[in-house]
Amino acid sequence: MGVPPQVIGVAAGVGQSALAIGGQKAKAKAQATAQARQTKAERARYIQQVNAERISQRFEMEQRSQQLQVASMKALQARSQARMAAGDAGVSGGSVDALLRDFSRQEAAYRFGLTRQGEQANIGRDLRVQDFQHNSYQRMLGINQPIEQPNYGAAILSGVTTGISVASGLKDL
Residue 171 lies in a domain: no
Is position 155 within any domain? no
Average pLDDT for 17-29: 88
Q: What is the mean pLDDT of residues 37-46?
A: 97
User: Which domain range does residue 79 map to?
Assistant: 5-144
Average pLDDT, the chain: 89
Q: At residue 91, does pLDDT exceed 60?
A: yes
C-alpha span between 60 and 71 (Å, rounded):
16
Q: How far apart are CA 61 and CA 67, in angstroms?
A: 10
Residue 161 is assigned to a structural domain of this protein: no
DSSP one-letter string for 59-122: HHHHHHHHHHHHHHHHHHHHHHHHHHHHHHHT--SHHHHHHHHHHHHHHHHHHHHHHHHHHHHH
Crossing angle of the two packed helices 94-143 and 5-89, in degrees rounded to 10: 180
Question: Percentage of the chain surpassing pLDDT 70?
Answer: 98
CA-CA distance, 77 to 75, in Å (whole number)? Answer: 5
Which of the residue ranges 13-17, 50-54, 115-119 would you say has the lowest mean pLDDT?
A: 13-17
Question: Residue 160 carries which side chain, given as an amino acid letter?
Answer: V
Q: For residue 170, is it within any domain?
A: no
- Number of independent structural domains in the chain: 1
Report yes or no: 17 and 155 within 8 Å, Cβ to Cβ.
Answer: yes
Mean pLDDT of 159-165: 77
Quick count: other Cβ atoms within 10 Å of Cβ 57? 16
Lowest mean pLDDT among 34-43, 65-74, 120-129, 161-170: 161-170
* C-alpha distance across the termini of the chain, in Å: 14
The pLDDT tens digits for 95-128 are: 888 888 998 999 999 999 999 999 999 999 999 9
pLDDT at residue 173 in the model:
62
Beta carbons within 8 Å of 162's beta carbon, 6+ residues apart: 9, 12, 13, 16
Are 166 and 11 in contact, with CB atoms under 8 Å apart?
Answer: no
Q: Give the pLDDT confidence of 66-82 residue by residue, as tens digits.
A: 999 999 999 999 889 98
Residue 160 lies inside a defined structural domain of this protein: no
Residue 12 forms part of a structural domain:
yes
Task: Note whether residue 90 is domain-resident.
Answer: yes
Query: What percentage of the chain has pLDDT greater than the value 90?
Result: 57
